[in-house]
Structure 1
Amino acid sequence: MFGIYLKRELGRRKKAALVIALGLALGIALVITVDSVSAGMTQAQDKVLKSLYGLGTDMTVTKARTAPASGSSGGPNFTFDAKSGSSSTQSSDRVRTQGGQALKSSLVTEVAGQKGVQSAVGALSLNVTKVDGSFTQGKAKSSTGSSGQGGPGGGSSSGGAPQVQGGGADFDVNSYSVVGVDVAHQGLGPLSTMKVTSGTTFTTAQTGSKVAVVGTSYAKEKKYKVGSTFKISGTKFTVIGIATPDSSESDTDVFVPLKVAQTLGDAKNQVTTIYVKATDSQQISTVKKEITANISGTTVTTSADLASTVSGSLSTASSLATSVGKWLSVAVLAAAFLVAALLTSSAVSRRVREFGTLKALGWPSRNVTRQVVGESIVNGLIGGALGIALGVGAAYAVTAISPKLTAQLGSSGGGGTGGGPGGGGPGRQASQHTLEIALSAPVSLTTIALAVGLAVTGGLIAGAMGGWRASRMRPADALRSVS
């Protein structure tokens, strides 16, 4: 009886039901769209952090930055010998640890032993600056000339000081990054965010071998292929693999075994970055506090810390989606619920004769209330279905259009010297990276479940107000409404 009457009444009031459903649908659609875009922002930010910082793990540990020594510029120093002859070719490599900061390798084991840490591995970031070119010696030539009356005796003078003509210097400066990786634990650290697309990666037997894996961009620039050779500070290396980052670009040009990198950088038993994986991703902040408290002189950097250094349109859009977008969704949804409740209450007031007659026929107040609530929930579900369709359509439209957002990632002013391979951590101040990200708006099952819940809630709110008003009607009200 309840179902038949419910179906008949909804059929009689299609326009009113559609207006209520559309109001709820618009609010729910906006919530789905904002939630999906916000999820897309989060994914884009994660992609930025992985590609620009190469974090690829839960956190990194670096040495706290210290002030440079008095009178020291902290930069590389090049000294060339003066040689006789008309031309002299000079070449020099300067290999330095990234930022000049380093940790003892023994700290890797100490960090791995902290509570909440699943594993830890060290890496050494180096910066290689190669200067090569030639000096050309100038030639001294004397200038001659004569003049009229010279001194009081009427004599003359001739000749002049010799002048150097020609000569000069022509030098080329090439700077690139080298990272030493622990070949026995490549699943965590710099190479974990790279995929070897040509050749092979390191084996555990190549701990001290002069072999290298180079990044795709650097390989194209230098025209390196598997089997190519090159020198770093006089040491010859053979390319065994070409690596491509999982997303976008990488700051690292060359990967070599850790022990070999320590020899190149004169950094025996030292690392610049310790990559850490926590046992529970939900306890990263707790693990950070544990490491910071127990290991002094270090800076622990997490993805959340790096996220604060992202600027550009991605950061602006993320802020809008998080603050303005969500508050706007709440406001529109509240307005939709209120309008649905008022429309339902207004519809009840126009059904005085109907509800009064039902009560005169013996319907108790709870049945009348159930009737109104039932109609409102059906309206809410219809609105939810329409809202889900509109919201999913809007999310897929955003994904199809794929608007481009830029992310700029620079120094956060922290004390670290490199959060990722190549020292691309928050302490890196030499350059600012810009990355272009295509925005998507993924719709999750959680978002759909939220939409259904909102639809039912909206129906219940509207039904509760309308049912309360209907339950207060008396059979006499129906008689007074008869003209």
Structure 2
Amino acid sequence: MFGIYLKRELSRRKKAALVIAMGLALGIALVITVDSVSAGMTQAQDKVLKSLYGLGTDMTVTKARSAPGTGSSQGPDFKFDAKRSGTSTQSSDRVMTQGGEALKSSLVAKVAAQKGVSAAVGALSLNVTKVDGSFTQGKAESSASSSGSREQGGPGGTGGGSGQPQVQGGGANFDVNSYSVAGVDVTDQALGPLATMKITSGRTFTPAQTNAKAAVIAESYAKEKKYEVGSAVKISGTEYTVIGIATPDSGDSTTDVYLPLKQAQSLGDAKDKVTTIYVKAGDSKRIAVVKKTIQSNISGTTVTTSSDLAATVSGSLSTAAGLAAGVGKWLSLAVLAAAFLVAALLTSAAVSRRVREFGTLKALGWPSRKVTRQVVGESIVNGLIGGALGIALGLAAAYTVTAVSPKLTAQLGSGGMSGGPGGSPGGGGPGQQATKNTLEIALSAPVSMTTVALAVGLAVTGGLIAGAMGGWRASRMRPADALSSVS
């Protein structure tokens, strides 16, 4: 009886039911859209942080570089030998650790032994500045004195002569090439600088190549210098064979050449040293606890988590994320509340127009609870219809955002960003970088089952709210109200 009457009443009032359902649908669609875009922002930010850290990295351990002493210089120092030949070709490489102060390799094992740490690997970040070119020796020539020019000399004589010798020609023509090198632990490449790189040509290091003269080159640098698999890369007099070309999973590569850690330590005169320790926590929910543990047990180091770096991300990604998290969510809640209120008012108004119907039903013996149940049942069905329409509209909006894939920029600059391997050149520790690295991320809007379940819950809630108000209004009607409405 309840189902039959419910179906008949909804069929009679299709227009009113559709208006109520559409009001709820718009509010639910906006909630789905904002929630899916926010999820896309989170994914985009994760991509940015992975390009900084490395896949699976939860934090890095570095040490700030101490202030240089008086009269010391942190820049590369080039000295060339003078030669007697007229033209002299010179070439020199200067390899320097970049970023924070070097740490002892033994600290990697100490960090890995801390409570809550799942894995830890060390990496060494180097900057190579190569200067090569040639000097051309000038020639000294004496200029002839002016014709007829004479000068009076000392007593009893006159003086004359040629002008002072002058150097003619000569000079120098040098080319400067600066690039970054990362020394990686080849026994655990799932964590650290190479974790975010995909080998597109050749292969990566094998665990046995801990001290091999082999190199993996970033694709952008390989194109610039015309390197390919099998090419030889000469660094500070040592030749390395290119065994692979790598492309970053997102953004641009921030390291040009990857070498086995021992080879990088030898190049940088940093035996048993690393500049960054990459750490993976055993439980992603206890990263803050692990950070405190490392800081308290290993003094003098700086521990930076992905949450710390998230605050340094600026650009359109940060702006859009702020709008989605702030304005977007508050706007969706306001629209949803308005949709609930409108649905409740429309349902109450519809009940007011059914005075004769409900009064007659009560006169026939329907108790108030049965009348209330009828109104609530109709409202819940309207809410479910609105939920279905809202999910469809929300999915369409999310699909449109994903299809368009608007480009967002993320600037990772001097606000405490980790550089070096997995970060930007010139860094190596939090707060060590003065330049900015800009990444471009395509925005998507993934819709999870949790979001769909939330939409269904909102639809039922909206129906219940509207039904509660309409049912309360219907339950207060008396049989006499039906008679008074008869003209």
Provide TM-score, normalisation by structure 1. Answer: 0.95
Do residues 461 (structure 1) and 461 (structure 2) align? Answer: no
Match of 2:454 among 442, 450, 458: 450
User: Counterpart of 1:73 in structure 2: which amino acid?
Assistant: S
Alignment of 1:322-401 (within 5 A): 322-401=325-404
Paired letter, 1:350: R
SS at match of 2:99: helix
Closer/same/farther in 2, CA of residues 142 and 54 from structure 1, 3 Å limit: farther
Moved over 6 A (4+): 152-156
Q: CA deviation at 1:247?
A: 2.4
Shift of 1:141: 1.9
Residue 402 (1) aligns with residue 405 (2): yes
The one of 251, 254, 257 aligned to 2:254: 251
The within-5 A match list for 1:414-433 is 418=420, 420=422, 423=427, 426-433=430-437
Classify 1:419/1:461 alpha carbon distance in 2 versus 1 (closer, same or farther; 3 Å). farther
Q: Which residue of 2 aligns with 1:91?
A: 91
**Structure 2: distance between partners of 1:86 and 1:220:** 36
Give the whole-Å Cα distance in 2 for the aligned partners of 1:375 and 1:182.
Answer: 66
- The question of whether the paired residues in 1 share the 8 Å contact of 2:217 and 2:245 is answered with yes
Q: 1:100 to 1:450 in 2, by over 3 A?
A: closer
Aligned equivalent of 1:440: 444
Contact 2:138-2:167 within 8 A present in 1 as well: yes
> Aligned partners of 2:344, 2:102: CA distance in 1, in Å?
65
- Structure 2 counterpart of 1:388, one-letter code: I
Contact 1:25/1:388 (8 A) holds in 2: yes
Q: Aligned-residue CA RMSD in angstroms?
A: 2.0
| Cα shift at 1:81 | 2.1
Q: Which residue of structure 2 aligns with residue 67 of structure 1?
A: 67
Aligned to 1:69, the other structure's residue is in SS state coil
2:7 pairs with 1:21: no
Aligned to 1:292: 295
Q: How does 1:254-265 map to 2 (within 5 A)?
A: 254-265=257-268
The residue number in structure 1 matching 2:304 is 301
- Distance in 2 (alpha carbons) for counterparts of 1:196 and 1:413: 30
| 1:188 CA displacement | 1.6
Matched, 1:46 2:59: no
The Cα shift of 1:425 comes to 5.4
Q: What is the match of residue 57 of structure 2? A: 57
Question: Which deviates the most, 162-171 or 457-466?
Answer: 162-171
Q: Shift in Å at residue 430 of structure 1?
A: 4.5
C-alpha distance in 2 between matches for 1:62 and 1:114: 16
Gap regions ≥5 residues in structure 2: none
In 2, the alpha carbon distance for the partners of 1:446 and 1:475 equals 46
Instruction: For residue 213 of structure 1, report the CA deviation from its aligned partner.
Output: 1.4
Q: Give the Cα–Cα distance (whole angstroms) in 2 for the partners of residues 405 and 17 of structure 1.
A: 41
1:408-458 per-position Cα deviation (integer Å, ceiling 9, x unaligned)? 2112246x6647366465434243112222211111111111111110111
For 1:79, what is the secondary structure of its paired residue?
Answer: coil
What letter matches 1:311 in structure 2?
S
CA shift digits 1:39-63 (9 cap, x unpaired)? 1111111122223554641111111
Cα distance change, pair 16–48 in 1 and its aligned pair in 2 (3 A) = same
Deviation, 1:480, is 1.8
* SS of match in other structure, 1:333: helix
Match for residue 470 of structure 1 among 458, 471, 474: 474
Find the residue that maps to 1:406 and give its secondary structure.
Answer: strand
Q: 2:172 aligns to what?
A: 169
Name the structure 2 match of 1:315: 318
Equivalent residue for 1:411?
Answer: 414
C-alpha contact 1:120 1:274 (8 A) present in aligned 2 = yes
CA distance in 2, matches of 1:399, 1:204: 40
Corresponding letter in the other structure for 1:307: A
**Amino acid of the residue matched to residue 374 of structure 1?**
G
Deviation at 1:304, TM superposition (A): 1.5
Which whole-Å deviations, capped at 9, do the CAs of 1:216-254 have from their partners, x for residues lacking one? 112222222222112111111111222222223221111
Deviation at 1:199, TM superposition (A): 2.0
**1:207 to 2:210 alignment:** yes
Which letter maps to 1:420? G
Distance across 2 between alignment mates of 1:381 and 1:96:
66
- SS of the aligned residue for 2:277 comes to strand
How far apart in 2 are the matches of 1:317 and 1:142? 72
For residues 274-314 of structure 1, what are the alpha-carbon distances to aligned partners after superposition, in whole Å with 9 as ceiling and x for unaligned? 11111111111221121112111111122222221111111
Match of 1:23, SS state, is helix
**For residues 66 and 353 of structure 2, what CA distance do their matches in structure 1 show?**
78
**Whole-Å Cα distance in 2 between the matches of residues 289 and 211 of structure 1?**
38
> 1:263 is matched by which residue type in structure 2?
S
Larger CA deviation: 183-192 vs 268-277: 183-192
CA distance in 1, matches of 2:184, 2:157: 83
